Amino acid sequence: MSGRLKDRIAIVAGAGAMGTGMSNGRAAALVYAREGAKVLAVDRDSAAAAETQRLIRAEGGTCEAFVGDLTDSSAAREMVEFSLSSLGRTIDILHNNIGILKAGGPVDLAEEDWDKILTVNLKSFFLAVKFVVPVMERQKRGVITNIGSIAGLRYSGLPFLAYATAKGAIPTFTRSIALQYGASGIRSNCIHPGIIDTPMLRMTADAGYAKAFGNVDAATLQAKREATIPLGRFGTPFDVANAAAFLASDDANYITGIELVVDGGFIARAG
């Protein structure tokens, strides 16, 4: 790769994955490292964070792992302190990728699931920004990239009400940061992934997409879903990660407050 992020320090919140799969967060951590950044891989699952660290180090990159639940302010504060002590005295990139989901509409979704999904998917972003921004302000520079979803832009075909609501809030969260802190040299942008081939995608298939497409088998389901995408395929986590690396680089140094949709044209067709 080009080394666009050489010697920069990137915190990737939600850098693990289910099992040994490739998630959007893990791919982002790998791409940042391949572009020369020193990466802090953050996840509440110690094994998942360690696997991301292992993959980066196996490629000769620099990565430390931090285990913590970023819905807790003390963990978010400790994450920043650990990054500053272990990787260097700057934080150049914050990549907010944490997210969970569960199927359900307003009637059948349990109240505790609504609370949990909004807390995990929004409070974790808020607390990470809360403790990273003062560091970026002192530096007079920094990039914050928040991962939304096309589910926050249009109905997915199945009721994921809490997830869609949380993701629908990410653009406003992102723009507010961009406008408040632009004069401090901090850029803030949002990426909306489309249908990306990740472990979470397979979870949504189990949640009811197969039934929605006529109780089909996995291969038929994939073919039917890919047929809804103008480019004719699911995205990969690296499609999202490469977009994030661009936004974090100096190639994008006049870009802030935007929503970048990485979906193979799905929203364009649906709109």
Residues for the chain: how many in total? Answer: 271
3-state helix, strand and coil shares in percent for the chain, rounded to the nearest 5: 50, 15, 35
Residues forming a β-bridge with 39: 10, 63
Burial of 6 (0-12, 13-18, 19+ CB in 10 A): exposed
Q: CA–CA separation, 122 vs 132, rounded Å?
A: 16
CB 161 within 8 A of CB 109: yes
Sheet of strand 38-43, all strands in order from the earlier edge strand to the far edge: 62-67, 38-43, 9-13, 93-96, 142-147, 186-193, 259-262
Residues forming a β-bridge with 94: 11, 144
Of 103, 14, 20, 12, give the one whose Cα is nearest residue 63. 12
Q: Catalytic residue among 32, 163, 181, 209, which?
A: 163
Whether 209 is catalytic? no
What would the DSSP string read from start to end of 65-103? Answer: EEE--TTSHHHHHHHHHHHHHHT-S---EEEE-------
- Dihedral sign for Cα 241, 125, 158, 218, please: positive
Strands 9-13 vs 38-43: parallel, antiparallel or unpaired:
parallel
Q: CA–CA separation, 48 vs 41, rounded Å?
A: 9
Catalogue the active-site residues. Answer: 163
